[in-house]
Amino acid sequence: MNFFKKIKNLIISALLIVFATLSFSFKDDLFLISKNLDIFASVYKQLNINYVDQINSTKLMRNGIDAMLDNLDPYTEFVPESEIEDYKMRYVSSQYGGIGAGVIHRDGRVFISDPFEGYPAQKADIRAGDEIISIDGQIIKGKSNEEVSQLMKGPSETPIKIVVQRNGKQLEKSLKRADINQPNVSYHGMLAGNIGYIKLDKFLENSAQEVKDALVDIEKNNPKGLVLDLRYNGGGILQEAVKIVNLFVDRDVVVVVQKGKNPEKTITYKTFATPLAPNLPLVVLVNSRSASASEIVAGSLQDLDRAVIIGQRSFGKGLVQQTFNLPYNSLVKITVAKYYTPSGRCVQALDYTHRNEDGSVDRVADSLMNVYQTKDGRSVYDGGGIFPDFYVEPYQYHQITQVLVNKYFIFDYATLFSTKHPTIAAAKDFKLSDADYQDFINYLSDKDYNYQTETEHTMAELKAEANKDKKFDEIKTEFESLKAKLSTSKKNDLIKYKPEIKRVLENEIAQRYYFEKGRTEQGFQYDLELHKAEETLSNLTLISAVLKGEGNYKIIGKPGQMSAQAE
């Protein structure tokens, strides 16, 4: 048990060395640290010695650490040695050894959802929709996601044998694992009107170089403008964001400032290289899932009046994390600072320092937001993400569409469709015919895609209250009549919402033939934010007026629903 005392003494000794030359005001802090470490170690010791049942000391310590960090913010976390590889894939690099395929779990069974083009699974003709029966002789049914992942992963060039089921037949596939590298830039190319497009999914290692390579390729076409798509991009490495801004902004310009309690964590990041495209008209797409490094890029380009931002209000994560190595190959990721865009605003939406009594955290109210000025004097806001210059109402899918997706009827029909149709039109042009859609309706004839509408939910509550008051018999006839009308109305939903159901179905089918690239290209047809970006980039006078705040154009509307319009 001297172990605990040694750990405590080591920590205190280190702190004494650090603070020895500083103000004596730290004495109380050092005493509290020593006191609390002593108490913690003593509790841990007494539990291990005296608790009535056997204790899993590792689990007990992990629970203690997690509980301690839960009082801070959701981004401060402890990572034990067993989770280091997964951590690196999420936050550092997405390269790993495996077969190159995504999977989904359904009722204890595992299906291939997305074979990656050019990797072992796709080369071995393993397809989306195939059910995995076994891996190297181990039956897969009932295994957890982590167990399946471990079986599929492994060093490059190691053999793996997978049995899949397709159309009722079992097929054995022998292949070799490879180094799988999921790119940060999942797609780049040219849109109508000679406009370039780059879809950046994450800010992991090499993301800035990938954006640069994509931009170099696009510039060969002498583009009229560029769309940088950061929707659903949850962020990543701050320095990569700075490099990406530098592609469009001159050197020695402040991109972001991080400020922490520790003076060493207060750092100003500036551009440091000659930009690749300093004058190319630029639109950045964001939505409510664009966070962290995405907001640094969008916010900085907005503050510097370098890009028009289109979409919805971004997530609002203005916190910076840093990892610190711990003993036994573990680490801790700690929020060390907040970041501020060039105008001086912080986009953090939630104040984790001041929690409610129940532990919940509130968003910053719009009325409490502060106004800042861009380089040319436009008004921008803090406290709740990046507000777009042009707000586009996000499309809300109806319940019927959500049910068809969540119950995998869309997924399964796409698999069935691909077995009947050897080829389809190019992804950008692919659309289902009316006959194809009718075939989908026929496919659903014996499927349960029922759902409860808000009206039905309200009626169920009404019936319960009526029964409680013993009044239901008085309204039963009218109640049953209304219920029947609602049922008939729901049956017509497949026709009523045909356009949006077709849209989702077409997208899933395109993936079967053209992989993730096809899914992206097929989605261009219905992408409202992208259409707004194309429209904006076709009007350079509008872009100039918005970015400079000149002429009859000004930013109007409440935060979160802002649009540039002519007065």
Whether 319 and 432 map to the same domain: the answer is no
User: Any bridge partners for residue 176, and if so which?
Assistant: 159
pLDDT tens by residue, 160-200 = 999 999 999 999 999 999 999 999 999 999 999 999 999 99
| pLDDT recorded at residue 367 | 77
pLDDT tens by residue, 310-337 = 999 999 999 999 999 999 899 999 999 9
Tokens of residue 73, six digits = 């913010």
Whether 466 and 360 map to the same domain: the answer is no
Whether 375 and 444 map to the same domain: the answer is no
pLDDT-based confidence at residue 559 (cuts at 50, 70, 90): very low
Tokens of residue 143, six digits = 């295994």
**Closest to 310 (Cα-Cα) out of 563, 86, 557:** 563
> What CATH number is associated with residue 165?
2.30.42.10
Domain boundary residue, one of 116, 146, 181: 181
| pLDDT recorded at residue 28 | 59
Min mean pLDDT across 59-63, 309-313, 503-507 is at 59-63
Residues 6+ apart with CB under 8 A from 373: 343, 379, 380
pLDDT-based confidence at residue 440 (cuts at 50, 70, 90): very high
Say if residue 235's pLDDT is above 50.
yes
pLDDT-based confidence at residue 520 (cuts at 50, 70, 90): very high
Q: Kindly state whether residue 308 falls inside one of the protein's structural domains.
A: yes
Cβ proximity of 537 and 543 under 8 Å: yes
Min mean pLDDT across 41-50, 148-157, 215-224 is at 41-50
Q: Kindly state whether residue 545 falls inside one of the protein's structural domains.
A: yes
| pLDDT recorded at residue 566 | 32
**Closest to 411 (Cα-Cα) out of 103, 96, 92:** 103
DSSP labels, 65-106: HHHHHHTS-TT-EEE-GGGHHHHHHHHT--EEEE--EEEEEE
3-state secondary structure of 557: coil
Cβ proximity of 156 and 178 under 8 Å: yes
Q: Is pLDDT larger for residue 446 or for residue 359?
A: 446
Whether 542 and 486 map to the same domain: the answer is no
Residue 379: active-site member: no
| Domains in the chain, number | 5
pTM, full prediction: 0.87
Say if residue 488's pLDDT is above 70.
no
pLDDT tens by residue, 521-553 = 999 999 999 999 999 999 999 999 889 876 544
d(CA 263, CA 209): 31
Residue 338: active-site member: no
Whether 248 and 299 map to the same domain: the answer is yes
Quickly tell me which residue has 């259409």 as its tokens.
531
Which parts of 168-262 fold into alpha helices (H)?
Answer: 207-219, 238-246
Say if residue 556's pLDDT is above 80.
no
Report which secondary-structure segment, H or E, holds 457: helix 454-468
HEC sequence for 99-131: CCEEEEEECCEEEEEEECCCCHHHHCCCCCCCE
Say if residue 21's pLDDT is above 50.
no
Say if residue 562's pLDDT is above 70.
no
Whether 276 and 134 map to the same domain: the answer is no
Whether 200 and 345 map to the same domain: the answer is yes
Residue 259: active-site member: no
Whether 372 and 343 map to the same domain: the answer is yes
d(CA 209, CA 299): 20
**Closest to 187 (Cα-Cα) out of 527, 560, 563:** 527
Q: Kindly state whether residue 261 falls inside one of the protein's structural domains.
A: yes
Whether 49 and 102 map to the same domain: the answer is no
pLDDT-based confidence at residue 450 (cuts at 50, 70, 90): confident
d(CA 328, CA 495): 60
| pLDDT recorded at residue 92 | 84
Whether 200 and 331 map to the same domain: the answer is yes
Cβ proximity of 557 and 563 under 8 Å: yes
Q: Kindly state whether residue 73 falls inside one of the protein's structural domains.
A: no
Q: Kindly state whether residue 86 falls inside one of the protein's structural domains.
A: no
Specify burial of residue 105 (Cβ count, 10 A radius: 0-12, 13-18, 19+). Answer: middle
pLDDT tens by residue, 100-134 = 999 999 999 999 999 999 999 999 999 999 999 99
Say if residue 19's pLDDT is above 70.
no
Q: Which of 8, 212, 243, 317 is catalytic?
A: 317
> What CATH number is associated with residue 307?
3.90.226.10
Q: Which of 73, 229, 303, 382 is catalytic?
A: 303
| pLDDT recorded at residue 456 | 73
Q: Kindly state whether residue 149 falls inside one of the protein's structural domains.
A: yes
Instruction: Kindly list the strands in the beta sheet with 390-391, ordered across the sheet, starting from the edge strand earlier in the chain.
Output: 185-191, 195-200, 225-229, 282-286, 308-311, 390-391
Domain boundary residue, one of 181, 210, 234: 181
Mean per-residue pLDDT of the chain: 88
Cβ proximity of 329 and 361 under 8 Å: no
3-state secondary structure of 500: helix
Rounded to 5 degrees, φ, ψ at 507 are: -65, -40
Say if residue 12's pLDDT is above 50.
no
Cβ proximity of 115 and 122 under 8 Å: yes
Domain hosting 39: range is 2-55
Taking the CA atoms of residue 432, residue 435, residue 436 and residue 439 in that order, the dihedral angle to the nearest 10 degrees is 160
SS3 content of the chain, % helix, strand, coil (to 5): 45, 20, 35
Domain boundary residue, one of 181, 209, 240: 181
Min mean pLDDT across 10-14, 84-88, 200-204, 234-238 is at 10-14
Whether 474 and 514 map to the same domain: the answer is no
Say if residue 565's pLDDT is above 90.
no
Q: Kindly state whether residue 77 falls inside one of the protein's structural domains.
A: no
Whether 261 and 231 map to the same domain: the answer is yes
First-to-last C-alpha distance (Å) of the chain: 75
Q: Kindly state whether residue 144 falls inside one of the protein's structural domains.
A: yes
pLDDT-based confidence at residue 400 (cuts at 50, 70, 90): very high
d(CA 260, CA 319): 10
In eight-state DSSP terms, residue 339 is: E
d(CA 518, CA 116): 12
Q: Which of 94, 207, 292, 418 is catalytic?
A: 292
